[in-house]
């Protein structure tokens, strides 16, 4: 697994260590989780592969009726 090195301010490092300690995991694992979460797609896995996969009855939009008549401004 590749290693990544970076420099952060001392106060940020202390906060990072506290958060990792609260989560009861090593700092490196905590950072890896943050990075994965940030890089993750907002869409569920294989979401776009489902397009057109409906196998039930045909979906039909019901009649929408007439638009109401409004006074012009």
**What number is the average pLDDT over the span 14-41?**
94
Query: Taking the C-alpha atoms of 39, 41, 45 and 51 in order, what is their torsion angle to the nearest 10 degrees?
Result: -160
Res 73: pLDDT: 86
In tens, the pLDDT along 34-62 reads 999 999 888 888 888 888 888 888 888 99
Return d(Cα 69, Cα 25) in angstroms, integer.
64
Tell me what percent of the residues of the chain surpass a pLDDT of 90: 49
Q: DSSP characters for 4-73?
A: ------HHHHHHHHHHHHHHTS-HHHHHHHHHHHHHS-SSPTTGGGGTT---SSPP-PPP--PPPP----
Residue, of 4 and 21, whose pLDDT is higher: 21
């Amino acid at each position: 697994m590749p290693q990544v090195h970076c420099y952060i301010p001392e106060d940020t490092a202390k906060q990072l260590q506290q958060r990792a300690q609260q989560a009861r995991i090593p700092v490196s694992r905590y950072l890896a989780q943050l990075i994965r979460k940030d890089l993750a797609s907002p869409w569920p896995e294989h979401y776009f592969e489902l397009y057109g996969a409906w196998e039930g009855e045909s979906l039909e939009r019901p009649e929408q009726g007439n638009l109401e008549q409004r006074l012009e401004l």
